[in-house]
Structure 1
Amino acid sequence: HMNRLSANLALLSDVSMAVLGGSLKRRERISARLGDVLSQLYLASAVLKRYDDEGRNEADLPLVHWGVQDALYQAEQAIDDLLVNFPNRLVAGALRVAIFPTGRHYLAPSDKLDHKVAKILQVPSATRSRIGRGQYLTPSEHNPVGLLEEALLDVMAADPIHQRLSKELGKNLSFTRLDELARNALAKGLINQDEADLLVRAETSRLRSINVDDFAPDELATRPVKLPEKVRKIEAA
């Protein structure tokens, strides 16, 4: 597939230069789309190389499939956009017949594949650790990414307790207000103190991660601006 797209890119580049000549430099949308095709082919090659360099781990395949499928789709989309906007319509028609004799070939990654990739990124695993190697994930006040990672681990640790309580209470409990759930469940003897502490910690981490730009109502109230004494004297004059 990549070889076919590479051949198409070579054909488009040669024909564009032959037909447009020096004006190709000024037709930046045309040259940009040629660059887009090259960039997507480079990305697909990089995905395959990394997969090979890291031992072809089967667990990485959803990421590989998503990366290559998206790159091929984007490259073909750039070719299609170029042909739609090519100034010489006769040449554009001939190129379309040569490049897409039976229509386009590639689809964007499916929702099912998106779900597999999202699960890999959200659940700690060897694959997730490998692709995130080198990230600074130490939780601290000044490292939001580290705090987000800590929240993920806390929530995952609390999830089995939450599911067990939902089953014991016969309710589909929402994964919110875990601190209140912990107090009530502890009072009823459904969980022990360690499990209650885990639920409270998960709720604290969860809220810390999602409460972005969270202000109390009085903090948003309009307050009069106090002008410096010198400015007040000038305005009075």
Structure 2
Amino acid sequence: QHLNRLSANLALLSDVSMAVLGGSLKRRERISARLGDVLSQIFLASAVLKRYDDEGRQEADLPLVHWGVQDAMYQAEQAIDDLLANFPNRFVAGALRAVIFPTGRHHLAPSDKLDHKVAKILQVPSATRSRIGRGQYLAPTPHNPVGLLEEALLDVMAADPIHQKICKQLGKNLPFTRLDELAKQALAGGIIDNSEAAILVKAEESRLRSINVDDFEPEELATQPVKLPEKHRKPEAA
């Protein structure tokens, strides 16, 4: 029903814009672009619902469905609101606003609580996560950053219970950093075994590989003089 209402509003706005602006609508690209934005968001919301239906209406997918549809409808209304605020004929704009938003806008952006649910789905391996990532190349090869990030996620998840075990034994809430050094200390103290220490070391390597950035020496970044070919050199003054 909400999508049908947005579609009807888009049809009304398109017809009125053509009737009022005529050929100048083509030159008023921001007006036509906002009409396109509304159409795009309706299409995205429809695609979300279709995929949800095609994949068997999995209950675990609902946070993703709610987020996708809510965001699309919010963005569509935002585009309509911006269009009306900038419509050249203010009398027509006021009349359209009274028809489309008689009591104000209807949709809000996805809530922080819903954002958290979606983030949890994306961060924890599950059937839903695998389904929405189907077709991605996730091999952890040196030149595939997405695959390396996926490997880092799995390594960190494997290290988390070991880290919690060490914290419990020491009675401290230790930061999840420098896991290689923590592994040496815990291994020396008999808290973990060699296999657990290896998991911590691997997780630290993957974590650093994911967050580290390229660094260069100052000399490498300094501007170097450019040697011009002979034919481009200016003749020296006599």
| Structure-1-length-normalised TM-score | 0.92
What corresponds to 2:145 in structure 1?
144
**Cα deviation, residue 116, structure 1:** 0.7
**Cα deviation, residue 9, structure 1:** 0.5
What corresponds to 1:176 in structure 2?
177
2:195 matched to 1:194?
Answer: yes
Deviations 1:1-27 (A, max 9, x none): 000011100110111111111111111
- The two structures, once aligned, show a CA RMSD in angstroms of 1.9
Q: Distance in 2 between matches of 1:153 and 1:54?
A: 26
**Cα deviation, residue 224, structure 1:** 9.3
Deviations 1:82-121 (A, max 9, x none): 0000000000000000000000000000111111111111
**Cα deviation, residue 142, structure 1:** 1.1
Deviations 1:51-85 (A, max 9, x none): 00000000100000000000000000000000000
One-letter amino acid of the structure 1 residue matched with residue 84 of structure 2: L
**Cα deviation, residue 221, structure 1:** 3.8
Alpha carbons of structure 1 residues 38 and 225: separation in structure 2 relative to 1, 3 Å: closer
Deviations 1:159-192 (A, max 9, x none): 0110111111111110100000000000000000
What corresponds to 2:131 in structure 1?
130
What corresponds to 1:58 in structure 2?
59
One-letter amino acid of the structure 2 residue matched with residue 3 of structure 1: N
2:79 matched to 1:86?
Answer: no
| Structure-2-length-normalised TM-score | 0.92
What corresponds to 2:218 in structure 1?
220
One-letter amino acid of the structure 1 residue matched with residue 170 of structure 2: L
**Cα deviation, residue 226, structure 1:** 8.8
One-letter amino acid of the structure 1 residue matched with residue 147 of structure 2: G
Q: What are the ranges of 5 or more consecutive residues in structure 2 without an aligned counterpart?
A: none
Trace 1:12-27 onto structure 2 (pairs within 5 A).
12-27=13-28
Q: Distance in 1 between matches of 2:6 and 2:96?
A: 13
Poorly superposed stretches of 4+, deviation over 4 Å: 222-228
Percent identity (aligned): 81
Q: What are the ranges of 5 or more consecutive residues in structure 1 without an aligned counterpart?
A: none
Q: Distance in 2 between matches of 1:152 and 1:15?
A: 52
Q: Match of 1:185, SS?
A: helix
What corresponds to 1:49 in structure 2?
50
Q: Distance in 2 between matches of 1:89 and 1:9?
A: 18
Q: Which of 190-199 and 140-149 deviates more?
A: 140-149
